[in-house]
Amino acid sequence: MSRPPLPPRVTVVEVGPRDGLQNETVQVSTATKIAFVEALAAAGLPVVEIAAFVNPARVPQMADAIDVARGIAKQPGTRYTALVPNLRGLAAAYDAGMTEIAIVVAASETFSQRNINQTVDASLTAYASVVHDARAEGMRVRGYLSTAFGCPFEGDVPQARVVELTERLLSMGVFEVAVSDTIGVATPGEVADMVEAMSARVPVGAIALHLHDTRGTALANVLAALEAGVSTFDASAGGLGGCPFAPGAAGNLSTEDLIYMLQGLGIETGVDLDAVVRASRLIAASIGHPLPSRYLKAVSGSDPR
Ligand code: MG
C-alpha cells in the first residue's frame, strides 16, 4: 500500500517541566525539577522547556524558575527554553542565562481576555517589544498560538484567524509557531486542513504542533500533520500536566506515546525511549499520582508510576 511520504526526522519539544508541572498542584522541589530536566536532556530530547518566568503569585509552581535555570548542568546538544509573559519575565530569563524563550498568544478573543485580561491585538503589541528585545540580546523566540483548534469559551476558532495570527507572529520575529490544541478537541481532518492552509502562507518548517490528548485524538493528529509535512511536535514526559479545563482528563500528548509511534514509523528522533520512561518515573514519584502515558503504563505492569 502506498502512503504519503513522512518526514525522515522529527524534533520533539519536551514541555513537561513547564507545561506539565505548571498544571500539577503538588509543589515539586527545585532539586527534583533540575533532576527531571537533566534526565530529559540525557534521554536525547533536543529541546526542553524548563520553566516559566511568570508572576509567582499566579503560578506558584514556577516561583523557582531562576534557580531551576541556573541549576541545570546544561548539555551542549540540547536547547533549553522557557516561557516569558512580558518584559519583566524576559529580564529574569536573561539573568538566568536563557538563550531561547517562548511567548503565548491566544487565537480566541475570549480566551485572551479571560487568561491575561488583554485583547489578542494588545497582547501581540506587548509581545512585539519582548520579541524585539530578546532578539537584540541574541535570544531565539518561539511563539505558541493557543486555542487554535477550539476555545473553552467560544467553541470553534476560525481557521483564517489562526493562519493570520501565525503569519503575524512569524513577521514579529519568532522562528516557529507551536499551533496548540489547548483543550484537545482537534481531529485529523481538521489538522490536515489547518496545516495545508498555513503552508500556503508560511514555510511548513516554521509550524510546530502542540497537541493534547484529552479526547484521544493526539496521535492520530500527529500522523495527519506528519503527512502534511510538519516535523516538530511538543510532548510532555508521561503526559504530565493533565487538562486545566477538564480536571482528571488527559492533557499534553505523552512523550513516550509520541516517540513510540514515531519509532514504529521509522522516523528518527534521537530520543532514547527507555530513558524518557526513567525521567517520567522520577517526576511521578514527586507528584503523588500516576501519569497518564499509555506507553508508560504498558511498560510498568501493575505499577503505572
Ligand atoms: Mg499543553
For 110-114, 210-214, 242-246, 294-298, which range has the lowest pLDDT when averaged over its residues?
242-246
Would you state the pLDDT for residue 249? 76
Q: Look over the chain and give the mean of its residue pLDDT values, rounded to a whole number.
A: 95
pLDDT band of 105, cuts 50, 70, 90: very high
pLDDT band of 125, cuts 50, 70, 90: very high
Q: How far is the CA of 172 from the centre of ligand 1 (A)?
A: 23
Q: How far is the CA of 212 from the centre of ligand 1 (A)?
A: 6
Would you state the pLDDT for residue 304? 47
What is the pLDDT averaged over residues 36-53? 98
Q: How far is the CA of 297 from the centre of ligand 1 (A)?
A: 20
Q: How far is the CA of 15 from the centre of ligand 1 (A)?
A: 8
State yes or no: pLDDT of 302 exceeds 70.
Answer: no
C-alpha dist (Å) from residue 208 to 60, 79, 139, 166, 175: 28, 16, 19, 11, 10
| Of the candidates 151, 154, 221, the residue with the CA atom closest to the CA atom of residue 186 | 221
Q: How far is the CA of 20 from the centre of ligand 1 (A)?
A: 7
State yes or no: pLDDT of 115 exceeds 90.
Answer: no
Q: How far is the CA of 74 from the centre of ligand 1 (A)?
A: 24
For 119-133, 167-181, 240-254, which range has the lowest pLDDT when averaged over its residues?
240-254
- List, as one string, the DSSP characters of 107-122: SSHHHHHHHHSS-HHH
State yes or no: pLDDT of 204 exceeds 90.
Answer: yes
The grid coordinates listed for 149 are 483548534
Rounded to a whole number of angstroms, the CA Rg of the chain reads 18
Residues with a beta carbon under 5 angstroms from ion ligand 1: 19, 252
Q: How far is the CA of 187 from the centre of ligand 1 (A)?
A: 16
Q: How far is the CA of 19 from the centre of ligand 1 (A)?
A: 5
What is the pLDDT averaged over residues 192-209? 98
State yes or no: pLDDT of 123 exceeds 60.
Answer: yes
Question: Could you tell me which residues are beta bridge partners of residue 105?
Answer: 145
pLDDT band of 288, cuts 50, 70, 90: confident
C-alpha dist (Å) from residue 234 to 116, 200, 208, 237, 304: 23, 23, 7, 10, 22
Question: Could you tell me which residues are beta bridge partners of residue 234?
Answer: 13, 210
Domain 11-300 has CATH 3.20.20.70: yes
Would you state the pLDDT for residue 21? 96
State yes or no: pLDDT of 305 exceeds 90.
Answer: no
State yes or no: pLDDT of 2 exceeds 90.
Answer: no
Catalytic residues: 243
State yes or no: pLDDT of 245 exceeds 90.
Answer: no
State yes or no: pLDDT of 64 exceeds 80.
Answer: yes
Question: In 3-state terms, what secondary structure has residue 226?
Answer: helix
Please tell me the distance from the alpha carbon of residue 189 to that of residue 193, in angstroms, as a whole number. 6
Would you state the pLDDT for residue 162? 98
Question: Could you tell me which residues are beta bridge partners of residue 53?
Answer: none
pLDDT in tens, 141-168: 999 999 999 999 999 999 999 999 999 9
State yes or no: pLDDT of 246 exceeds 80.
Answer: no
State yes or no: pLDDT of 49 exceeds 90.
Answer: yes
Domain ranges for the chain? 11-300
Q: How far is the CA of 2 from the centre of ligand 1 (A)?
A: 33
What is the pLDDT averaged over residues 198-206? 98
What is the pLDDT averaged over residues 91-103? 98
State yes or no: pLDDT of 1 exceeds 70.
Answer: no
The helix or strand, by DSSP H or E, that contains position 57, with its residue range, turns out to be none
